[in-house]
Chain A
Amino acid sequence: MLIFIALYLDPGSGSFLLQLLIAGLAGAGIAIGAQWTRIKKLFSKKGKNVQDENDEDESDDE
């Protein structure tokens, strides 16, 4: 097993397992969120929200 061999930080067993548990939830949440944003856009006249600077960071990479 790869895991826990090279780790210097204890990830915490609960924290580790929780990520496996919530992965599906996070994915579903994001999908619902994305749809919701699309719906809101349909009814909103406002332009695109101002991006925070971390979004700008990420666009550097893309």
Chain B
Amino acid sequence: MMKTRATTNNRVLSSFRDPSGFLFHRDGLLYRQVNQGYAADYEKLISSGLYESLTKSGRLVPHREVELVPEERTAAYKVIQPEVVRFISYPYEWSFSQLKEAALATLSIQKRAIQRDMSLKDASAYNIQVHNGRMTLIDTLSFESYREGEPWVAYRQFCQHFLAPLALMAWCDIRLGQLSRIHIDGVPLDLASRLLPRATFLNPGLASHIHLHARAQRDFAQANVQEARRGRKLSREALLNILQSLKTTVQKLSWKPAGTEWAEYYSNTNYQDEAFRHKAELVGSWLASLKPGLSWDLGANNGYFSRIAAQGQGTYVVAADIDPAAVEANYLQCRKDKQQNILPLVLDLTNPSPAIGWENRERDAFLARGEPDAVLALALIHHLAISNNLPLERIAAWLAVITKTLIIEFIPKTDSQVEKLLRNRPDIFPDYSREGFERAFTKHFRIEKCAAIHDSERILFLLKRV
């Protein structure tokens, strides 16, 4: 079970905007209260067959109805218990393909809803999570009855949460995915429109759903919609055409990493084959005896060692790296292998995702989203200590807050990777040595195992928090 997310009186704090119901925790389990006002839509979701169709294809999180005293009795219709998502992640932590698939999943869900006379009443990227290896809608209460003739209520939100960041990542710079972290309700379309190159005006999808959309938002901001539409309706076919147009627009967006620093790390590393093999063997055998449920692989690169960690029965690996290209490569590999228990995420460890939103409690900080049973920090310490000037003592203290069990690799100054980092700067790191490392880490951990990696000067440690 996940560590409890930010809650007040058991209510999950991200769950407050929609009056249809809310999430709450009780006795360590997660439930969703369905309110009476949503009863008709909830029953229609089930009776229309939409629930079955979407859960069967892994697009909607399955739940069961439970007999439980509701959290807020007066409003309650039912209490449901959704399947638990192993690790909650947010759009600004996803690689390009993850966000793209979440976008296509949302459109697919909406299309199938329309076919069954329902419609998504929101299209928030936060409602999509990776569950059993699929981009899955986790908000069961996102559907409402489709009203023939009416436009899609969540069109604006879809464009802001998905299309705008994807277009910016594909056309401008992959790092613009981080705009979603600042703008919690998605990237404002006027901003996206200003940042996108002029060439995108020639792309019919982007021209209409971003540029014209931004313009319409400006021009009709004060409009009385009922007067302005003059009784015009949007037929079901026209709505499906808009969905198809959004789908084509998203599908055509692509991003190929080029020139990123570490994406090809494994192919040009100084590792001799034997060193690599030995490190993999050590990590594998240590993890096999530890049997962690949830592991975090920090600085996971393209996930080579995450795959070793993921071999354990029932284990789940969060594979975080700062390089969007490495995370993209990792994700595409997972998809190819149908690997369901690795979640690649983009994360800057020197500035991990903070808690954001209303009261700073709407979206949890990365470090508050679960307690890993083990942390892997392989080929990481030199980036933190040398590239980022972080004292070893602070790194050790931080890792001790996160985990009881740590597998960490120490890479000495004589290693070519560290030499590279020090080539053009004065060596202001007198404590960066094996002795200094052990001194710093044994303040918080005891050394359980320690092994020199063959054919290298690197040392692998298994540490347990004291």
Contact = CB atoms under 8 A, between A and B. Distances in A.
Nearest to B106: A54
A34 to B, nearest CB: 10
B100 to A, nearest CB: 10
Contacts of A18: 155, 208, 212-213, 216, 220
Q: Main secondary structure on chain A at its contact with chain B?
A: helix
Contacts of A57: 57, 59, 105, 108, 112
Interface stretch (B144-152, B313-321, B432-440): B144-152
B182 interface: no
A9 to B, nearest CB: 5
Interface in A6-40: 6-9, 11-27, 29-30, 33
A25 B111 contact: no
Given A23-B241, A26-B245, A11 B204 contact: no
Give the residue among B57, B105, B224, B251 with the most A Cβ atoms within 10 A: B57
B150 A22 contact: no
B217 A27 contact: no
A27 to B, nearest CB: 5
A8 B234 contact: no
Nearest to A23: B238
B152 A13 contact: no
Contact of B225 (A16, A21, A29): A16
B232 interface: yes
B156 A11 contact: yes
Interface string B237-263: 111011011011001000000000000
A1 B226 contact: yes
B435 to A, nearest CB: 52
Contacts of A2: 147, 150
Contacts of B225: 3-4, 13, 16-17
B241 A54 contact: no
Nearest to A28: B241
Q: Main secondary structure on chain B at its contact with chain A?
A: helix
Contact of B216 (A8, A14, A24, A52): A14
A14 B217 contact: yes
A45 B397 CA distance: 61
A15 B158 CA distance: 11
Q: How large is the interface on A (under 10, 10 to 19, 20 to 34, 35 or more residues)?
A: 35 or more
A23 to B, nearest CB: 4
B126 to A, nearest CB: 13
Given A33-B248, A54-B104, A54-B108, A22 B154 contact: no
Contacts of A20: 151, 229, 232, 234
B155 A27 contact: no
Given A23-B238, A23-B242, A60-B53, A17 B216 contact: yes
Contact of B217 (A7, A15, A19, A21): A15
A16 to B, nearest CB: 5
Contacts of A22: 208, 212, 242, 245
A61 B112 contact: yes
Contacts of B235: 23
B156 A6 contact: no
Interface of B: 17-20, 53, 56-57, 59, 101, 104-105, 107-108, 111-112, 115, 121-122, 144, 147, 150-157, 159, 204, 208, 212-213, 215-226, 228-229, 232, 234-235, 237-239, 241-242, 244-245, 247-248, 251
> Considering the complex of A and B, which 8 residue pairs feature the smallest CB-CB distances, nearest first?
A15-B156, A14-B217, A23-B238, A14-B216, A19-B151, A14-B220, A54-B108, A26-B245
